[in-house]
Structure 1
């Protein structure tokens, strides 16, 4: 969590871009990412220089002798005109030249372009980014998340930023371990992967490794949450992780794919800012045939956990879709294809938590039924969780659900939960409120008992209940919660019409009496 002072710096940076003529939020974040990347390259170079001086061991330099003027510590002292020309004509071409040479997420820097047109804006941006505490590993991840929170529009393919508290609930329900291989096949800004990493650190930190400190606002007053409780900055060190665990985490635990190069740049920076040294992020359409050709290990039974919020709209060219995915569900709809893809990418016994539009749950087309039958008959469909329609505002008002399944086996009962509130208002403002079903949902999911499924304890009028596979199959594998949730109607009693009419007459007489009294006073 970051302080109000740091938020003010980000807000100021955002305002400078806005007044400088760059109003597209994604463009702002992309340009800030480039400049942060430039600073972090120099920070890494300085760290290696100090280590080399201490140990006497050489290292692979990022900057040659002729490129020393491109280092952040030298750039930031240049005058406006010289700074602008150096960054535009030399630094950005340097990003492209180092692409493919093992530099940090350099794959996504080859198309980097300076979109800032005003020299004064670039000077201010460099000054503000230089003041950000990027050397603080515990702060920079939250800092970048706050920057990403300013994304308030969906992409043209239906992509939008998943609320972090929703992701957190999904990660708590489908847990990971230090040996997991985790993937998001439509990674976007990398939210699922960063939250999973934060959860991993918490899970493998001892009580002695936890540091807590209260947070204060700009006026020195303690920050409190919506319930009036003090807000603390909680730091997790991951002190129960061995060096070999750390190597796996840094190089082979987190995998992301997307076909939006801008999003990939943002995602890569997001993961690095959170502390993952070499995240495995790739420019790739995971639904295409080329995915299986380029990444055969990942495309089929490659992962133990998959979290996803795939694009909800748009259709694809069927000829370009992987044939094995089409064999599972023959359709052009991306929301159906992605679920089939995720099922293919999981190892036997692997689990997924995926957000889908409600139409996936009850659509009547052959493809919709084919996909739901695949989940129920060929896998263990663990849970279907209905979310309120406002959780993705201001991006979209679409109604969604979370489906959780384990690859392999068959389903006998499915656990349903009806989320009515997520701790925020369901309008465009999404302001914090006290009503929040998510903690209860996570608790009940972890303690769910299938033994009560056929008993009176399985009350379908409540938020959580079980439904048998037979009942689901009889309803064409419909998975919408309203199909199975029972509503108790209370009979309303009304007075006789004559009694109601008499009351109306008496009320009319009282009104006339008051009018007569008023007339007399006048």
Structure 2
């Protein structure tokens, strides 16, 4: 049975449980069980490495609360120890009254280093609870998860793919796709063209399930054999930073990063927009920013006070935050709704003026309608900019699949392959063109208007216009006569 089949089997089991209602619940519950099995394998691997190196290793979990003791204890010959294994009420009582309180307390320990793996575990379980009502149901789930081996690189890779699918299903069920899942083809294209390097810091102020941060990690890990020990340590502990407002997305994001192999992600729970951007200094900034911030939301006036250009539109507040938190020479790629490009009221105009005058907005990727269906029909674009002086030219690329995008026909890597190929050269094609910043006008309308599609307007003389109107009136009158005759004959 493949890992995907095992996860599907767990989903079927959880659907029968009285405490589970929908994909959001079974994804959340599958996640914490997966994570604890992963943690047990991680601890075992670290202990083996310590023995080989002759260095001591202090396990994160004490013996009583390790998977191999409470979840699936074994006999000396490796079989499930039926004399020690818990099930039914005994299992749920232990999980609810002993295991979860023990794990939650990790984040409250006064000696815990916020960067430590121990603290991260506490941060995860601080916002989690066991919702599986039946201990017999939970027993079935534990027995399946116990067959997984997270010390296998192949199984870990498969797990990362399966987990992405779980997060996507979570977004599908709750209508929170933007919160839990940005289409991976879009994420991969954004990461490929920015091409993050070891030693750079990566930031997402609306992290959700951390898809951007995970993709950057995979991008950096592809050349792991060429990395120094110092570079790899920096990647593990000091590269990835993010904020997430909602507790469930924060938990999913933290687990997503750890399950992908990031030992100490710097993910924090909180509303990014409560930070006064006037207080941000160069030391607080990041080399690369990748994000798909929430848009269409409204923020109260108290939050708006944190921004020089006040607006209740969250997309404008996040744009100001991203501009302020980008390092000198840094690069950003931000998903924004189409409205940001063409709206010209005071706040929208001021933000775009700031962006064009003080940043190099060199590229706008116009995404096709339907990228976020069925969760949102809003058309989106990706802004690529750098903190390296003002904008001189903007290169546009219009992604246009031959077939309309739907839930069952989503955007793919192939749809964005040409964009990725042309990004550095900024070549002009039927789908791409360059506009001088000086021609954008005083309203700073950044709408993507493909010149290859623009048709010359034919201006008719007034008499010719009147003739066309009379011809159309005669055609309408003739159709009305025919309808009237048909009605008379019936």
TM range (shorter): 0.7 to 0.9
Q: Is 1:378 aligned to 2:348, yes or no?
A: no
Give secondary structure in 1 for the equivalent of 2:179. coil
Q: Is 1:132 aligned to 2:111, yes or no?
A: no
Q: What CA distance in whole angstroms lies between the structure 1 residues aligned with 2:149 and 2:423? A: 39
Which of 382, 392, 406 does residue 386 from structure 2 map onto? 406
Residue-by-residue CA offset, 1:432-473 (whole Å, 9 max, x unaligned):
88x943101111112225xxxxxxxx57xx210001111113
Q: What CA distance in whole angstroms lies between the structure 2 residues aligned with 1:465 and 1:95? A: 54
Over aligned residue pairs, what C-alpha RMSD do you find?
2.8
| TM-score normalised by L of structure 1 | 0.77
Q: Is 1:316 aligned to 2:313, yes or no?
A: no
Where do 1:411-422 residues align within 5 Å?
A: 411-421=391-401
Q: Is 1:478 aligned to 2:448, yes or no?
A: no
Alignment match, 1:511: none
Q: Is 1:279 aligned to 2:299, yes or no?
A: no
- Structure 1 residue 334, shift from structure 2 partner: 0.4
Assess if the C-alpha contact under 8 Å between 1:250 and 1:278 holds in 2: yes
Alignment match, 1:20: 17
Alignment match, 1:469: 437
Residue-by-residue CA offset, 1:357-413 (whole Å, 9 max, x unaligned):
101111122111111111111110011111111111122121100110111311111
Alignment match, 1:517: none
Where do 1:193-342 residues align within 5 Å?
A: 193-202=213-222, 204=223, 238-289=224-275, 302-321=285-304, 323=306, 326-327=307-308, 329-342=309-322
Give secondary structure in 2 for the equivalent of 1:361. helix
Which of 366, 376, 380 does residue 396 from structure 1 map onto? 376
Assess if the C-alpha contact under 8 Å between 1:302 and 1:345 holds in 2: yes
Q: What CA distance in whole angstroms lies between the structure 1 residues aligned with 2:169 and 2:393? A: 41
- Structure 1 residue 56, shift from structure 2 partner: 4.9
- Structure 1 residue 269, shift from structure 2 partner: 1.2
Give secondary structure in 1 for the equivalent of 2:169. coil
Aligned length: 434
Which of 57, 60, 65 does residue 59 from structure 1 map onto? 57
Assess if the C-alpha contact under 8 Å between 1:184 and 1:192 holds in 2: yes
- Structure 1 residue 120, shift from structure 2 partner: 2.3
Give secondary structure in 2 for the equivalent of 1:159. helix
- Structure 1 residue 185, shift from structure 2 partner: 0.6
Assess if the C-alpha contact under 8 Å between 2:273 and 2:318 holds in 1: yes
Q: Is 1:163 aligned to 2:183, yes or no?
A: yes
Assess if the C-alpha contact under 8 Å between 2:293 and 2:315 holds in 1: yes
In structure 2, the CA distance between the partners of 1:16 and 1:116, relative to structure 1 (3 Å rule), is same
Q: What CA distance in whole angstroms lies between the structure 2 residues aligned with 1:385 and 1:48? A: 44
Assess if the C-alpha contact under 8 Å between 2:394 and 2:434 holds in 1: yes
Alignment match, 2:162: 143
Q: What CA distance in whole angstroms lies between the structure 1 residues aligned with 2:127 and 2:278? A: 25
Alignment match, 2:340: 360
In structure 2, the CA distance between the partners of 1:488 and 1:269, relative to structure 1 (3 Å rule), is same
Assess if the C-alpha contact under 8 Å between 2:333 and 2:385 holds in 1: yes
| TM-score normalised by L of structure 2 | 0.82
Structure 1: 5+ residue runs without aligned partners?
Answer: 205-237, 450-457, 492-496, 502-522
Residue-by-residue CA offset, 1:151-187 (whole Å, 9 max, x unaligned):
2145679635101111001111112111210011100
- Structure 1 residue 29, shift from structure 2 partner: 2.1
Alignment match, 1:35: 33
Q: Is 1:73 aligned to 2:68, yes or no?
A: yes
Assess if the C-alpha contact under 8 Å between 1:394 and 1:429 holds in 2: no
- Structure 1 residue 415, shift from structure 2 partner: 0.3
- Structure 1 residue 479, shift from structure 2 partner: 0.9
